[in-house]
Amino acid sequence: MLDWAGRGDLGYGQTMSLPRIPKAVVFDMDGLLVDTETVYRDAMTAVAGEMGHAMSLDVFKAMIGLPDNREVLVGHYGADFPVTAFNARVVGLADEMVAAGVALKTGVLEILDHLDMLGLPRAIATSSSHRAVASHLGASGVISRFHAVVAKGDYARGKPHPDPYLTAASRLGVAPHLCLALEDSHNGVRAASSAGMMTIMVPDLLDPTEEMHALCVRIARDLHEVQGLLG
């Protein structure tokens, strides 16, 4: 039986369980289901170099989980930075890299099998486009295993606003507070938590901060650890 003993110092491998029994699970995509954050990192770094700019890891990290990177790019490189051309080239290069092969993250197939066994509905809530969902996950065959896919264009405001997660809960027909949200990014955690969902961060390129510990019910090493919480 799932119970709750208070948040405490949430960290890897802790023993406390979830505050409520989840009735649905909502997954982020990039960095959580599929190992594409490293693809975007490498593509952005390469394209910035082509344009005569250096892209630090901190600048890239500031864009993780955002539906629009314009503010970050202009804030760092200046108002004359060609954001539209940069993003178009990044998408093209990232597509080439994904086509060469991109791996699902550890535990994806196992947790989906477990959710099938439990009969729990699940959705994807991503800042990426539906085209990107098809590109990143199509070859793996897992898209059909989700009951809803919420992507850019399906909501008014992207992460860190709650709209993507509220839309996912609505499409699943489950109250947000009964949904478990799984995220790897800070902006994603902020979005899921503000939607009222139980939120677990599974870090990828971003380390959990004190804010993330406060917003999450758990910080998990990987999806295997999340699976173990679901009974």
Residues 64 and 111 in one domain: no
Give one DSSP letter per residue of 148-159, joined into a string.
EEE-TTSSSS-T
Question: What backbone phi and psi angles, to 5 degrees, belong to 17?
Answer: -105, -160
Residues of the chain with pLDDT under 70: 1-16
- Look at residue 47 in the predicted model and tell me its pLDDT: 94
Containing 123, the helix (H) or strand (E) segment is strand 122-125
For 50, the domain range is: 37-99
Number of domains in the chain: 2
Catalytic site residue from 3, 9, 30, 204? 30
Is 30 part of the annotated catalytic residue set? yes
41 belongs to a structural domain: yes
Is 35 part of the annotated catalytic residue set? no
Residues 203 and 150 in one domain: yes
Residues 75 and 155 in one domain: no
- CATH code: domain of residue 196: 3.40.50.1000
Runs of H (alpha helix) within 78-222: 83-99, 108-118, 130-137, 163-172, 186-194, 210-215
Domain closes at, from 69, 99, 129: 99
82 belongs to a structural domain: yes
- Look at residue 16 in the predicted model and tell me its pLDDT: 54
Q: Give CA–CA dist 84/87, Å, rounded.
A: 5
160 belongs to a structural domain: yes
- Look at residue 2 in the predicted model and tell me its pLDDT: 29
Catalytic site residue from 28, 154, 163, 204? 28
Q: Give CA–CA dist 114/88, Å, rounded.
A: 38
pTM of the model: 0.84
